[in-house]
C-alpha cells in the first residue's frame, strides 16, 4: 500500500483517523433534574422523547455498503457502543441517487450522513456550503495515519474538510480471458502485470473482432454512470490529461486525447453506445455480450460472480508509455449541515466508530470490498481475488475529480461522447466539452 497518489487539492473523497474521544460519556450528571434537562434538550435538537438521537445515513452502493444485511450488521455494532443513537439507512444507486439527494436538499430534508467520495461531498455539496466542516475529526493522529493523497482529496482549497475517508481502490478495465485466448489475443498483453501498450490493445481488439466476437467493447455514453472508465481509457491511450495539475482547468481537448478518441471511433469492434451507462456495460460484459469492460474494479467481479461463466482478467488501461494512470476511488462519510447540533454530534460519533475504532474499522473496510486509506496491515490475507487486484493500487493516478463545476463537466462529457458517436468532428466536440466544463469551473470559483 506504499503508493504515490497525486494530491487533489480541493475536494472530497477521503479522510481518516481523527477527532476527540467521543466514546467517553459524561458521568457527572446523575440527579433527576439534569436527566430531565437532557431529555428536553434531546427533543429540541434531534432527539426523541426517550432521549435517543435519530440520524439518517444515505449510502451509495460502495461494495456491500449497498447491501442491507451487511450494513445492518455494521450498525448493530455501532448501536452496542452508542445505544442512544438510532441510525436509519437509505440505499442509493448511481442512476438516481444524486437526484434523490438533490430533491431532499431542496425539500429541506437532507440526510444527516452520506457515504460517497470527494467529487460529491467536497466538490459538489461541500462547495455549495451544505456540508459540515469535519476538521475536528482530522486530528494530528489521523493526518499522520491517512495517506497524504487521500487527505488532500478530502478538503477544499481553503483546507476545510468535508469528508472523512474509509476506503479506496484503483478502477481498472477487464477482459474475457477465454475469448481473448480463443482469438490468440493474449499475446498482445502482459497477463502477469495486467498491462498492455496502445499498439497491443489495437491488435488484441482486431484479433477478437476477427474471431467473430460481435461486440468487443463499448464506449458507453448513456449517462454519467461509470464515466471514470471512459475518461481513463481516453487519457491513457496517448498520455492525455483531464485537468491541469492544479485542478483549476479542464484540459481534455489536448492533442493526445483527440488522437485517442479518433482511434476509438475508427476501431472495428469498439462502438460508441448511447443506450448504456457503466452499470449496463458491466452487465453486458458479465453475461458475455461484450469481450471487455472499461467500468470495472474488484467489486464488480464479486457482485457478478453468479453471472460470470468465464475467466475474468483485470487489466490496466493501455498506454503508449507503459505507465498507466488509473482513476482512483476514495470513499468516506460527509455530514449535511441540517442545523441540528445533536444530530451532527451523533453523526460524527458514527464516522469515528466506523473509520477509527480498532475493532470495527477492518470490518467496515472489508464491507466495501476495497482497501483501507491507512495502513491496517494485510486485511485480505488468503483472499486470492483481492490479492490479484491489489497490484493495480500502485498505478493510481491523479485524483482530479475535485475540480470546480465537476457535476456539469460529467454531464458535458457523456454528451460529447454521444456527439462523436453520431458523427460530430472529434476536435469540435472535445473543444465544446472543455468550453462548457471550464465555464462551469469558473462559475464555481466565483
SS (H, E, C) 142-170: HHHHECHHHHHHCECCCCCECCEEEEEEE
pLDDT digits (tens, 9 = 90+) for 315-351: 999 999 889 999 988 999 999 999 999 999 999 999 9
Q: Is 80 exceeded by the pLDDT of residue 167?
A: yes
Looking up cell 496517448 gives 238
* Residue 250 β-bridge partners: 243
Q: What is the pLDDT of residue 17?
A: 31
Is 399 inside a domain boundary?
Answer: no
Enter the DSSP assignment of 425. -
pLDDT at 175 over 90: yes
pLDDT at 378: 86
Residue 38 predicted with pLDDT over 50: no
Do 201 and 59 belong to one domain?
no
- Determine, yes or no, domain membership for 2: no
Region 128-151 average pLDDT: 94
Would you call 363 helix, strand, or coil by DSSP?
A: helix
pLDDT at 8: 32
Same domain for 312 and 441? yes
Q: What is the SS3 assignment for 262?
A: helix
Please indicate, yes or no, whether residues 94 and 110 belong to a single structural domain of this protein.
Answer: yes
Task: Tell me what pLDDT residue 398 has.
Answer: 85
Report how many domains make up the chain: 2
Judged by DSSP in three states, 288 sits in coil
Q: Assess whether 45 and 153 both reside in one domain.
A: yes
For the chain, what percent of residues have pLDDT higher than 90?
76
Higher pLDDT, 8 or 315: 315
What pLDDT shows up at residue 36?
A: 37
User: Which one, of 320, 213, 318, lies nearest residue 268 by Cα?
Assistant: 213
| 143 and 52 together in one domain | yes
Whether residue 27 is contained in a domain is answered as: no
Q: Classify the phi-psi angles of 367: left when phi > 0, otherwise alpha if psi is within -120 to 50, otherwise beta.
A: alpha
Which spans in 14-158 are helix H?
Answer: 32-44, 68-81, 97-106, 118-120, 140-145, 148-153
> Are 359 and 230 within one domain?
no
Task: Tell whether 69 and 149 lie within a shared domain.
Answer: yes
> What whole-number distance in Å separates Cα of residue 280 and Cα of residue 277?
5
Query: How large a percentage of the chain has pLDDT more than 70?
Result: 89
**75 and 211 housed in the same domain:** no
**pLDDT score, position 394:** 83
In a domain, 395, yes or no: no
What pLDDT does residue 18 have?
31
For residue 351, being part of any structural domain is answered with: yes
| Degrees, nearest 5: CA angle 136-138-144 | 150
Residues 302 and 411 in one domain: yes
Q: What are the two backbone dihedrals, phi and then psi, of residue 342, each rounded to the nearest 5 degrees?
A: -65, -40
pLDDT of residue 43: 42
Report the distance separating Cα 81 and Cα 385, nearest Å.
Answer: 33
Query: 135, 140, 116: which is closest to 12 by C-alpha?
Result: 116
CATH number at residue 293: 3.40.190.10
Q: Is residue 398 part of a domain?
A: no
pLDDT of residue 50: 59
Q: Over the stretch 200-231, which tens digit does the pLDDT of each residue have?
A: 999 999 999 999 998 999 999 999 999 999 99
Query: What's the average model confidence in pLDDT over 348-355?
Result: 98
Residues 41 and 162 in one domain: yes
Residue 158: pLDDT band with limits 50, 70, 90: confident
The answer on 408 and 261 residing in a single domain is: yes
- Residue 195 placed within a domain: yes
247 & 366 share domain: no
**Residues 6 or more apart from 120 whose CB is under 8 A from it?**
12, 98, 114, 334
Distance CA 128, CA 356 (A): 28
Identify the pLDDT of residue 149: 80
Domain-ending residue, one of 357, 388, 419: 388
This prediction has a pTM of: 0.73
Residue 302 parent element (H or E): helix 298-303
In this predicted structure, which of 164-178, 308-322, 385-399 has the lowest mean pLDDT? 385-399
DSSP 41: H
Residue 46 neighbours by CB under 8 Å, 6+ apart: 53, 54, 55, 340, 341, 342, 343, 346
Which residues form the domain of 319? 172-325+404-445
Is 397 contained in some domain?
no
Amino acid at each position: 500500500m506504499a503508493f504515490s497518489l497525486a494530491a487533489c487539492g480541493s475536494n472530497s473523497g477521503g479522510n481518516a483517523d481523527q477527532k476527540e474521544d467521543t466514546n467517553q460519556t459524561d458521568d457527572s450528571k446523575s440527579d433527576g433534574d439534569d436527566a430531565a434537562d437532557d431529555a428536553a434538550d434531546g427533543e429540541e435538537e434531534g432527539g426523541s422523547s426517550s432521549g435517543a438521537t435519530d440520524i439518517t445515513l444515505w449510502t451509495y452502493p460502495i461494495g456491500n455498503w449497498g447491501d442491507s444485511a451487511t450494513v445492518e450488521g455494521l450498525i448493530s455494532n455501532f448501536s452496542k457502543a452508542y445505544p442512544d443513537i438510532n441510525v436509519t439507512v437509505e440505499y442509493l444507486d448511481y442512476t438516481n441517487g444524486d437526484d434523490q439527494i438533490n430533491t431532499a436538499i431542496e425539500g429541506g430534508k437532507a440526510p444527516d450522513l452520506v457515504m460517497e467520495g470527494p467529487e460529491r461531498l467536497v466538490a459538489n455539496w461541500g462547495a455549495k456550503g451544505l456540508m459540515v466542516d469535519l476538521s475536528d475529526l482530522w486530528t494530528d493522529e489521523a493526518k499522520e495515519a491517512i495517506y497524504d493523497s487521500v487527505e488532500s482529496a478530502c478538503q477544499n482549497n481553503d483546507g476545510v474538510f468535508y469528508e472523512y475517508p474509509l476506503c479506496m481502490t484503483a478502477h481498472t478495465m477487464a477482459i474475457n480471458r477465454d475469448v481473448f485466448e480463443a482469438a490468440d489475443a493474449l499475446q498482445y498483453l502482459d497477463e502477469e502485470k495486467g498491462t498492455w501498450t496502445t499498439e497491443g490493445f489495437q491488435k488484441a481488439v482486431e484479433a477478437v473482432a476477427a474471431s467473430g466476437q460481435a461486440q468487443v467493447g463499448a464506449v458507453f455514453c448513456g449517462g454519467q454512470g461509470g464515466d471514470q472508465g471512459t475518461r481513463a481509457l481516453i487519457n491513457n491511450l496517448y498520455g492525455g490529461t483531464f485537468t491541469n495539475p492544479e485542478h483549476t482547468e479542464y484540459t481534455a481537448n489536448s492533442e493526445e486525447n483527440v488522437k485517442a478518441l479518433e482511434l476509438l471511433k475508427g476501431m472495428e469492434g469498439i462502438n460508441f453506445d448511447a443506450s448504456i451507462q457503466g452499470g449496463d456495460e458491466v452487465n453486458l460484459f458479465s453475461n458475455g455480450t461484450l469481450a471487455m469492460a472499461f467500468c470495472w474494479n474488484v467489486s464488480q467481479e464479486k457482485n457478478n460472480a453468479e453471472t460470470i461463466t468465464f475467466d475474468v482478467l483485470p487489466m490496466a488501461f493501455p498506454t503508449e508509455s507503459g505507465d498507466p494512470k488509473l482513476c482512483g476511488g476514495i470513499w468516506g462519510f460527509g455530514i449535511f449541515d441540517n442545523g441540528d447540533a445533536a444530530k451532527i454530534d451523533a453523526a460524527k460519533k458514527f464516522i469515528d466508530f466506523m473509520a477509527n475504532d480498532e475493532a470495527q474499522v477492518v470490518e467496515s473496510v472489508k464491507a466495501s470490498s476495497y482497501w483501507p486509506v491507512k495502513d491496517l496491515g494485510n486485511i485480505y490475507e488468503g483472499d486470492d481475488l483481492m490479492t490479484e487486484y491489489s497490484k493495480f493500487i500502485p498505478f493510481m493516478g491523479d485524483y482530479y475529480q475535485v475540480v470546480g463545476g465537476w457535476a456539469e463537466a460529467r454531464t458535458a462529457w457523456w454528451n460529447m461522447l454521444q456527439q462523436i458517436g453520431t458523427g460530430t468532428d472529434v476536435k469540435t466536440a472535445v473543444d465544446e466539452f472543455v468550453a462548457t466544463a471550464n465555464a462551469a469551473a469558473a462559475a464555481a470559483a466565483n
